[in-house]
Amino acid sequence: MKSVMMPKIWIFFFVLICVLVIASLLQPTTKSQEIPTPSQTASNQALPTSREENADAMLKKGDHSIYLGDQSSGETNVLIGYAVFGKSGFITIREDNGGMPGNIIGVSELVNGRVDALTIKTKSALQADQVYYAELVNDNGDGIFEETVDLSVNDKDQSVVLMSFLARANSVSTAP
């Protein structure tokens, strides 16, 4: 019988791969490499609620909901992702007044049911790093928005149905 000899280069690569695998297994993990289990995540920290989850939670508390993302500063239009009304109403865009909705700077057309990708014109451009609010308002039945007559939509817990958003400065392109 003829014996087959394995080339020395193959043996060298096999030993090198074994050493690398063993070294990676023996290397201590760092904090950035640790991945918590779902039970650790739930018990150790409360994860922030996404805007989509907030909008879904609004519907569980009534017939109304609104969703929108942060907007670009300098714009005079606000894009509403979607809004759901139990009865006809309006969406107002409000400035921030110490953490609460302030002056109205934009109002939608009359909305009934669900509306997607609605653009609302504002009186002034959105300022960078400022918080604004998109608030649902019930129509009193005349189809015309009147701030003193058309009241905020409340859910079954009597909370106003709104979503805050941030006007972010436009990013600068780094493309050549």
Domain architecture of the chain: domains with CATH: 51-168 (2.60.40)
pLDDT tens string 128-145: 999 999 999 999 999 999
Pairing of strands 77-84, 65-67: antiparallel
Q: CB of 163 within 8 A of CB of 134?
A: yes
Give residue 26's pLDDT.
77
Calculate the CA dihedral of residues 46, 51, 56, 58 and round it to 10 degrees: 90
CB 77 within 8 A of CB 122: yes
Each as own residue / partner, the long-range contacts of residues 51-54 (CB below 8 Å, 24 or more positions apart, any chain) are 51/163, 54/163
Please say if the pLDDT value at position 176 is more than 50. no
**17 or 146: which carries more pLDDT confidence?**
146
Res 41: pLDDT: 42
Q: Which two tokens stand for residue 154?
A: 């409340």
Q: Which two tokens stand for residue 171?
A: 């990013």
Residue 47 confidence (pLDDT): 46
Contacts of 1 (CB under 8 A, 6+ apart): none
Q: pLDDT category, 173, cuts 50, 70, 90?
A: very low
Measured between alpha carbons, how far is 159 from 21 in angstroms, rounded to an integer?
57
Range scoring the smallest mean pLDDT among 18-27, 39-48, 103-112: 39-48
Average pLDDT, the chain: 80
The pLDDT score that the predictor gives to residue 8 is 74
pLDDT for position 171: 44
Tell me the CA end-to-end span of the chain in Å, nearest whole number: 67
| Between residues 1 and 20, the one the model is more confident about | 20
pLDDT score recorded for residue 20: 79
Let me know: does 116 contact 81? Beta carbons within 8 Å: yes
- What is residue 175's predicted lDDT score, i.e. its pLDDT? 36
Of 12-16, 123-127, 162-166, the range with the lowest mean pLDDT is 12-16
* Six token digits for residue 90: 């309006």
CA Rg value for the chain: 28
CB atoms within 10 A of CB 54: 14
pLDDT digits (tens, 9 = 90+) for 28-85: 655 545 554 444 444 444 545 666 666 666 666 667 889 899 999 999 999 999 999 9
